[in-house]
Structure 1
Amino acid sequence: MVRIVKLTIDPGKAAAFERIFSEKMLLIRNFPGCRHLALWKSHLPAGVFMTYSLWDGQDALDAYRHSAMFADIWTAIKPWFTAKPEAWSLDDITPTR
């Protein structure tokens, strides 16, 4: 399952957000059920980030979202949001040959 989350961060806090993400990235990647995690940054407007992650399924994602690790990260970055986060959970349905 693909999970894309759009985070709109105060541009003045963008460097701090990137630092926290860099510090926590390996922990999240090693969470059971997480297969991949990447952070994308918009050229414009400033402060818009997207996380792209691959999960074994909804149960794995839910376990992460209810973990103490997620709560710690979310508590640290939530005050920096300038818009409500948006999230999409997607399944790849591309036909294979």
Structure 2
Amino acid sequence: MLVRIVKMGFKEDKIDEFLANFEENKTKIRGFEGCQFLELYRDKDNTNRFFTYSYWKDEESLENYRHSELFKNVWAQTKILFNEKPEAWSVDKVVRLE
């Protein structure tokens, strides 16, 4: 399993637009083949900064999503709303405690 974390900062007046786009597409993203989990987080101190946190079956599944029409459409609508360069990390889960 691969964990993908993406940090995005938005123009203050574009946050509602981002949230509407996420709401419209979250089920499609989560339903994409190989996506096993998807959450959206908001920074408590910098409220125009958001993080997506997703689990993917493997790197190939993530790459298939990143080259899909779904991703291209979502990303085209998202990237024009940024106030800072997004950052992304692909990580392996080492330990999980419940």
Q: TM-score, normalised by structure 1?
A: 0.93
Letter in 2 for 1:27: K
Pairwise CA distance, 1:6: 0.1
Q: Report Cα offsets for 1:30-65 as digits up to 9, x if no partner.
A: 000000111001122121000000000110000000
Summarize the alignment of residues 72-87 of structure 1 with structure 2, pairs less than 5 Å apart: 72-87=73-88
Which 4+ stretches in 1 moved above 4 angstroms? none
Residue 95 of structure 1: CA displacement? 7.9
Q: Does 1:12 align with 2:17?
A: no
Question: Which residue of structure 2 aligns with residue 34 of structure 1?
Answer: 35
Secondary structure of 1:73's counterpart equals: helix
Q: TM-score, normalised by structure 2?
A: 0.93
Identity of aligned residues (%): 39
1:95/1:28 CA distance change after superposition, 3 Å: closer
SS of equivalent to 2:62: helix
SS at match of 1:80: coil
Question: Counterpart of 2:44?
Answer: 43
Match of 1:89, SS state, is strand
**Given residue 17 of structure 2, which amino acid in structure 1 is its aligned partner?**
A
Residue aligned with 2:25, SS: helix
Per the alignment, residue 67 of structure 1 pairs with: 68
Which amino acid is 1:69 matched to? L
